[in-house]
A and B are shown apart, each in its own frame.
Chain A
Amino acid sequence: MKRGLEGPAPEERPTPAGRRNKQGIRIDPEVEATHEPRRTVISALVAHEPGVLSDVSGLFSRRQFNIESLTVGPTDDEERARITIVVEEPDPGIDQVEKQLRKLVPVISVRELEPDAMRRELALVKVDAADPASVSAVADMYDATAVDSSPETATFEITGSRQKIEAAVETFSQFGIREVSRTGLTAMARGTDQTAGADLTAQPADEAKYGDNTQPADDD
């Protein structure tokens, strides 16, 4: 017996003129721009309870969001913690990161920080101290503070933007780096602007258009 159904074959059917891109956006002149990944900082205020960090980190791995760093720490309210995440995603991905985070029950509020937000990271760098004078000169250049020293090593604390820390580590490397430990980025909105606070719960979920926040992140 003949198997299958009757009807015009695929090549006999009309086909629509349009197309979508991989992000499900119809390609037409208005929204044609493909979205390139950009690095940005997302701050989340969460209930300070067991399992929140694993909820958040699990979400990122499960949904294959590209994260560069994730830091967590207490706030002035002992029932709340702040999680700061540096992600690198195209705009629709950043949008998804925010929405998926907001969906987690212990998450109170989520916000992508403006490019001018204050961003800081701390690094401990342990170097060979065979040439203490030169090491100290480099430390001064980067406002690094000596934390520990031994006959063979010196350890410095450097605080600042990602670029500053990378530059410092690069410069220190001439002496021979033993170990580097970095905290990842923490950040805060400037002035009276709120980073991610309790009153931001009813956030607009309805941004139809992307592209208002695409200027490159200035890390300092």
Chain B
Amino acid sequence: MSERAAKVTPTDDEQTDEQITDSAAPDAATEPDSAAETESETTAEPVTSGAEAVVRALENAGVEYAFGVQGGAIMPVYDVLYDSDIRHVTMAHEQGAAHAADAYGIVSGEPGVCLATSGPGATNLVTGIADADMDSDPMLALTGQVPTEFVGNDAFQETDTTGVTTPITKDNTFASDADHVGSDVTEAFALAREGRPGPTLVDLPKDVTNGETDREPDEPKTPDTYHVQERADSEIVAAAAERIENADRPVMLLGGGVIKGEASEACREFAIEHEIPVITTMPGLGAFPEDHELSLEMAGMHGTGYANMAITHCDTLIGIGTRFDDRLTGGIETFAPDAEVIHVDIDPAEISKNIHADYPLVGDAETVVEQLAAAVDESPAATKWRAQCQQWKSDYSMAYEAPEDAPVQPEFVVEALDEATSDRAIVTTGVGQHQMWAAQYWTYTEPRTWVSSHGLGTMGYGLPAAIGARLAADDDQEVICVDGDGSFLMTLQGLSVAVRENLDITVAVLNNEYIGMVRQWQDAFFEGRHAASDYNWMPEFDKLAEAFGACGFRIDDYDDVADTIEEALAYDGPSVIDVHIDPDANVYPMVPSGGDNGQFALTEDQL
């Protein structure tokens, strides 16, 4: 009842405000620099409350979707969203809201928005925020908070949300008054998107969102203390260009920053022009077409043998938008030990953090690659090196055995899904063996088609990510969630959302009834003792899907694979294929943690 009572007062004020604004409008129009704004202002009612300012801020920023879960402290914002054109997707769990927003950000390039209430709502977002932070995905989280006067008193559903999320956000803000809350949101939105993207959060106490204000939010703008360097130092560019011209064994290493910086095209042109072999990191999948002969695909712990050989033996490593994560480098001592490193990154703090940069190029990936392209006059004389890379491609082929009489091999399923879908199909995954197979055996040719949890490694990411990706994707892009049984079990309540929203996504659960990656490590490093990795029993995911109202399928044999995939893809709505794969299948190649990339194992006994 108090909610309603609180609402009545602003409604009365609304009319008064409207009249004031109407009469004030002609004056505003006479001011020369406000002419552009006048048009947009006349289309929307003036704001009357903090919550209206919050939603107006989102609308002004062009937000189309928001993912969230209702709750006490965020109710004023939801009450305004109710009348907004922003489409709110009610998730089954806040973690899913964060992952969906994260994936929306990856696919669209614009910050995905998630909402949750205070306390458990906010803490449930934490995993998804941390995930976005590790992967530099643009995301804006809005959390309700208990009224300011109760903050610090351990009130019902109170959590120090800004305190909890400080280490996992690019920036966060506790909104302290209704007049400023709209601008807090626009600023957080701008910060999430600009420079190196990342998650931002605005904590919204209920008295602030309920509070009266007529202040329209400012345009999205980063704070004055925030600086992004777009162009790299031209002297270092010249030096790096000379190094590239004189390289004997050059390699380009494209990270997720290439995709986020819209630099895929520039990198592609540069690599092809100068015939430089290209490796990607896992977040960089899609930055360069993997079907191109210069592509060596992915390097790192489960990268291809040829990528790991090339990165180990190169003499010039052009790393773009990569943070040289330990899953990529393996042991630092043996990482590209003969290479002079040219490192392009928009975040100065990534330069020489893990791997010393001989040529540090701070700037926007696309701008810097264009600077390099303009500075490099001669292609490196690397015919022999390219031949060597091709030789490694055949020496360390990714071809796997799939005998008819053995259980279905997961690689086969991934390839079949890739075959059955278009080049622009989007793949989301959970974390574990299935994720690695999806990374290795799907041929990525387009940026923003690989949506996964890299840095944080969040099991359960795949399904909620598919929901966010679906809404960001074009209609002709299929959205496939390649999941594992363990990962799927963590967030499968999201099926209820996919069904309710009638989202056309296809989930393929590579089911081995194990936490497979842990089982693989236990076999290799823990004498095969399967502590807590062996589920032994799993629900029947196809039937579970049906119970949710989705379409369920099951695959046990090779014969079923192609037809079932076709059927599932044809279904207009969410479908789940429970694929019973060989439970003993392992992911190779493999570089053990901290190992030498060049010494990757091709079989278990090489570990």
* A20→B352 CA distance, assembly (Å): 13
B589 contacts A103, CB within 8 Å?
no
Q: Determine how close the nearest CB of chain A comes to the CB of B596; give it in whole angstroms.
A: 8
Say yes or no for A99: interface residue by CB 8 A criterion. Answer: yes
B337 contacts A54, CB within 8 Å?
no
- A9, A95, A207: which contacts B602 (Cβ < 8 A)? A9
Tell me the total A-B contact number using a CB cutoff of 8 A.
Answer: 153
Q: Determine how close the nearest CB of chain A comes to the CB of B314; give it in whole angstroms.
A: 9
List of A residues within 8 angstroms of B599 by Cβ: 10, 13
Contacts A16-B313, A55-B166, A92-B352 given: A6-B337 contact, CB under 8 Å? no
A100 contacts B349, CB within 8 Å?
yes
Say yes or no for B351: interface residue by CB 8 A criterion. Answer: yes
- B312, B349, B358, B584: which contacts A3 (Cβ < 8 A)? B584
Contacts A7-B396, A54-B163, A208-B360 given: A18-B191 contact, CB under 8 Å? no
Say yes or no for B86: interface residue by CB 8 A criterion. Answer: no
Closest A residue, CB atoms, query B601: A10
* A14→B233 CA distance, assembly (Å): 37
- B223, B332, B604: which contacts A20 (Cβ < 8 A)? B332
Contacts A22-B333, A205-B360, A206-B233 given: A95-B598 contact, CB under 8 Å? no
List of A residues within 8 angstroms of B340 by Cβ: 26
The size bracket of the interface on A is 35 or more
Main secondary structure of the interface of B (DSSP, over half): loop
8 Å CB interface, A29-88 against B: 31, 47, 50-51, 54-55, 58, 62
B333 contacts A16, CB within 8 Å?
no
- A5, A21, A55: which contacts B400 (Cβ < 8 A)? A5
Say yes or no for B236: interface residue by CB 8 A criterion. Answer: yes
Q: Determine how close the nearest CB of chain B comes to the CB of A23; give it in whole angstroms.
A: 7
B398 contacts A5, CB within 8 Å?
yes
The size bracket of the interface on B is 35 or more
B397 contacts A19, CB within 8 Å?
no
| Max count, chain B CB within 10 A of own CB: residue among A2, A7, A14 | A7
Say yes or no for B528: interface residue by CB 8 A criterion. Answer: no
Q: Determine how close the nearest CB of chain A comes to the CB of B372; give it in whole angstroms.
A: 15
| Max count, chain B CB within 10 A of own CB: residue among A18, A31, A202, A206 | A206
Say yes or no for B67: interface residue by CB 8 A criterion. Answer: no
B338 contacts A17, CB within 8 Å?
yes
Interface, chain B (partner A; CB < 8 A): 162-163, 166-167, 170-171, 174, 191, 223, 225-227, 229, 232-233, 236, 305, 309, 312-313, 324, 332-335, 337-340, 347-349, 351-362, 395-401, 403, 406, 584-586, 588-589, 598-604, 606
Interface, chain A (partner B; CB < 8 A): 1-10, 13-26, 31, 47, 50-51, 54-55, 58, 62, 92, 95-96, 99-100, 102-108, 201-202, 205-208
18 A-B residue pairings within 8 Å (CB atoms) = A3-B584, A3-B588, A3-B604, A5-B602, A10-B599, A15-B312, A20-B332, A26-B338, A58-B166, A99-B349, A99-B351, A99-B353, A100-B349, A105-B191, A105-B225, A105-B226, A201-B225, A206-B362
